[in-house]
Amino acid sequence: MRRFYLKIALFLLPLFAVWFALEFFYRQVPNTYSYKNEELQKSYKEIETIVFGDSHSFFGINPLYFESRTFNISNISQSLLLDELLLASHIDNIPLLKTVILNVSYFTLSAKEDNIENTWRKYFYHHNMEVTVPSISIWNPKRYSMALIQRFDKSLDLVSAYFQRGTIITTKPSGFGMQDASSIICDKEAISKVIAKKHEDYSLDFTSNISRLDRMVKLCKQYGIDVVLLEMPVHPAYYKVLNPRKKLKIKTTLGQLSKKYDNAFYLDLSTNSLFDKNDLRDADHLTNAGAQKCSELLNTYIKNTL
């Protein structure tokens, strides 16, 4: 029997060693989430404008081109649920905050709380951004171990990237996402159809996310903060194939919110003629030059409108 237990121990030892090594890596190596959280907290007393949203604003709104001190807290596949949790978590600590920019994408208002993107990303918000995500149970082992968050091969890819580049941080200190010319797609018309299909969830149920938007705008109103409800520029081929009923409902919803609250302002740049195909790197993300143009436009809008 002792030999049997010894064999089990010898079998489990490498597994525990790998688990411990990955846990140490995740806890000690700064990532985009932990870096953003640290940089945000360092700038609490200076921030006047903060940007929320998903990858469209993460790569498309550059704080460098704002006259007010701006921080971009948006991230890849960041849901409205996480936007609301982040806003509630930090608003008390940013005394000079005057403007919140909230990117609303085609899929934002119909997204479910625990969609496929949030099934693993939410744990990084829990561990690295000090956000209490309601759907993470106290019985869930990922609540306590970061090594269990992603598949083993994904974790190995992250470790490999760290040893190759010396970092796994993909954001600048201002929160703006890093990208270069290698990510620009040549055939934007073709990729637009693929991405539009990927983004279509065939849902017009906005109920829970309209409530979230309402709560966020109302919370900002209590603090005297203006909210820009923003639709980012997209490629015409992408916009053309989206569901017309859903596009109209998004615009109607955001327009109604801007009428309901005097601190809410709806700005639709989705088909704005100031942006051309060269400003986009694919169907729905801006290049760095496009991000500069968008950021400068937003800066002017904030100065002249709010």
Is a pLDDT exceeding 90 seen at residue 74?
Answer: yes
Across the chain, what does the average pLDDT equal? 92
Beta-bridge partner residues of 99: 49, 226
Q: For the chain, what's the residue count? A: 306
21/23 Cα distance (integer angstroms):
5
pLDDT for residue 181: 80
In a domain, 118, yes or no: yes
In a domain, 251, yes or no: yes
As to burial, measured by CB atoms within 10 angstroms (0-12 exposed, 13-18 middle, 19+ buried), residue 48 is middle
Is a pLDDT exceeding 60 seen at residue 21?
Answer: yes
pLDDT level of residue 12 (50, 70, 90 thresholds)? low
Q: In a 3-state reduction of DSSP, which class is residue 171?
A: strand
CB 223 within 8 Å of CB 97: yes
Average pLDDT over residues 22-37: 94
Residue of 107, 129, 199, 119 lying closest to 154 (CA atoms): 119
In this prediction the pTM is 0.92
262/71 Cα distance (integer angstroms):
24
Residue of 23, 32, 9, 8 lying closest to 152 (CA atoms): 23
| pLDDT tens-digit map of 235-264 | 999 999 999 999 999 999 999 999 999 999
Q: What is the helix (H) or strand (E) element at residue 101, kind and residue range?
A: strand 99-103
pLDDT for residue 2: 66
As to burial, measured by CB atoms within 10 angstroms (0-12 exposed, 13-18 middle, 19+ buried), residue 265 is buried
How many Cα neighbours within 13 Å face the side chain of 288? 10
pLDDT for residue 10: 61
| Contacts for 176 with CB less than 8 Å, ≥ 6 apart | 58, 59, 61, 62, 63, 64, 72, 291
Is a pLDDT exceeding 90 seen at residue 302?
Answer: yes
Residue of 32, 72, 31 lying closest to 54 (CA atoms): 72
Average pLDDT over residues 43-57: 97
Average pLDDT over residues 261-275: 95
| Contacts for 276 with CB less than 8 Å, ≥ 6 apart | none
| pLDDT tens-digit map of 117-143 | 567 899 999 999 999 998 888 999 999
In a domain, 21, yes or no: no
Number of domains comprising the chain:
1
pLDDT for residue 1: 63
pLDDT for residue 115: 61
| Sheet with 226-231: strands ordered across | 70-72, 49-52, 99-103, 226-231, 264-268
In a domain, 113, yes or no: yes
Domain of residue 170: give its range. Answer: 29-305
Is a pLDDT exceeding 80 seen at residue 9?
Answer: no
In a domain, 22, yes or no: no
CATH code of the domain containing 291: 3.40.50.1110
pLDDT for residue 116: 52
